[in-house]
Structure 1
Amino acid sequence: MSLRLLAFTVIFTSLFTYLGFWQIDRAKFKKGLLAQQALVEALPVARLSELTTDEIRTGRRVAVDGLIDPEKVFLLDNVVVEGQVGFEVLHPILLDSGESLLINRGFLSAGSSRETLPVVPFLNSPMTALGVVYVSDWANSDMALLYSGWPRIVPTQDPKVLGSVLGTPLLPWVLRLDEADPNSLPRYWVTTVMSPEQHTGYAVQWFTMALVLLGLFIMSVYKKRKEGRS
């Protein structure tokens, strides 16, 4: 028996098996995440001012009243929907409580060039906004803000970063407008990119590869022993 073949089989069979169980764990996690999200989304619409900090979580449907400055528009860069390049449209809204919050209206196709920005549909003010809370770790929040003027292209929707641009602190979450809100734009947001079923499918593939590799090794050993006896 070749020690090299044995080492190869042990290493890769163990690796494929580990990846299979990792995918199983991811499937369980996604199932729990979707179940928890469904419970949050099933809650009735609440006024943001009536919720405690612990009750404000991703997927919670809320309504807010406030004032919009139509000139202050952020365009979240590098958004691609069904092969079409564009932006997510963000507005700061001054709530009746005196706090400020970012609302995300949805997707808007890009213009013909970076110098020709798309026309953002007008918002009436004051307004009542209906949507779902979105909380994130705000990836890319350390990226530089390269553009000036309004509307302003930005690489992040981190409320802390955009609040510094406005000179006004923003609440640490974003309100994604509901599709029923008349001010919303096309929406594409999903709770999770990969479903539990997809993770399970990948797990089956990894386990199958481990079994095939182990089977080939056993057949190779059997064949060599048979040849040695003849």
Structure 2
Amino acid sequence: MKRRWKKPSWLALCLVGFGIVAFSYLGFWQLRRAAEKELLLAAYAVAAVNDPIDLAEARRTAAPGFFPRITLRGRFDPIHTYLLDDQVRDGRQGVLAFAVFDPGDGSLPLLVNRGFVARDGTAGLPAMPPVPAGGQQLNGIYATAPGSGLRLGGNALPAQMQWPKLTIYIDTIEIGTDLGRPIDTRVLLLDADAASGFVREWTPQILPPERHRGYAFQWFCFALASVVIFIVLHWRRVQPGSK
């Protein structure tokens, strides 16, 4: 049985053209996201083994994708701590504890991520080690603040009168306003310490590059499917005796 090409309508051409462009764009976007995630993971891996630099140098050289390991001296604010809620480590829900730290050189305060503490199953806040008193020397990764995702319910900090304050995202501008003084837009991820009482695993909690490549493959398959469907619909069989 013979086949004959049926001239497609302008609508069909526009639809297949839009599908190819849109699906291809999404595929290449996922490939770019995979490359970005690889660079991010590599930056954290390098920072974990590099010798620390001082905070002032890290602030001078701060750039996207650059997360240096730093060392600094100063004192913790003994009162003001923020708990990032809805965190999961090894299947357990809990919080990340962010304490305010005042560098000894009098420069801008910054948030220090002391680590993860699991909830004990009760409705209250989990118990955690107290903030260390006196002068401290800290080592850790000078990193961007965790992503905020969807901000449902707005800023809950002003309505809370007791410390520590619970939040579902870390916004350094809002926290600075809550404290009544500006703070660094980056945070310090403390080096691991088995005696600290906190879990400190700083590999970014992100969608892995392999998953992005899988999504890219799916989008490219959709683009190919658009072409195949277009051809199948317009390359029709011709019945014997038909013109």
Does residue 13 of structure 1 match 2:20?
yes
Pairing partner for 2:231 from 218, 222, 227: 218
Match runs of 1:1-230 below 5 Å: 1=6, 3=9, 6-35=13-42, 43-49=50-56, 51=57, 53-56=59-62, 59-99=67-107, 100-110=109-119, 112-114=121-123, 116-126=124-134, 127-136=136-145, 139=148, 140=151, 143-145=155-157, 146-180=159-193, 182-183=195-196, 185-191=198-204, 193-222=206-235, 224-227=236-239
Contact 1:130–1:181, Cα closer than 8 Å, also in 2: no
Give, in whole Å, the separation in 2 of the partners of 1:218 and 1:138: 44
| AA aligned opposite 1:135 | T
Name stretches of at least 5 consecutive residues in structure 1 with no aligned partner. none
1:132 Cα shift? 0.7
Greater helix content: 1
Partner-residue secondary structure (3-state), 1:12:
helix
184 and 46 in structure 1: CA distance in 2 versus 1, 3 angstrom threshold: farther
108 and 229 in structure 1: CA distance in 2 versus 1, 3 angstrom threshold: farther
Partner-residue secondary structure (3-state), 2:94:
strand
| AA aligned opposite 2:165 | R
Runs of 4+ in 1 over 6 A off after TM superposition: none
Q: Can you list the C-alpha shifts for 1:179-228, whole angstroms capped at 9, x where unaligned?
A: 14753621344347233333222222222222233223323333x24337
137 and 229 in structure 1: CA distance in 2 versus 1, 3 angstrom threshold: farther
Give, in whole Å, the separation in 2 of the partners of 1:191 and 1:229: 67
| AA aligned opposite 1:97 | D
1:137 Cα shift? 8.6
Name stretches of at least 5 consecutive residues in structure 2 with no aligned partner. 1-5
199 and 229 in structure 1: CA distance in 2 versus 1, 3 angstrom threshold: farther
Q: What is the count of residue pairs matched by the alignment?
A: 227
Identity fraction in percent:
30
Partner-residue secondary structure (3-state), 2:133:
coil
Structure 2 length-normalised TM: 0.74
Give, in whole Å, the separation in 1 of the partners of 2:95 and 2:201: 12
Structure 1 length-normalised TM: 0.78
Greater relative contact order (CA < 8 Å, ≥ 6 in sequence): 2
Give, in whole Å, the separation in 2 of the partners of 1:82 and 1:157: 22
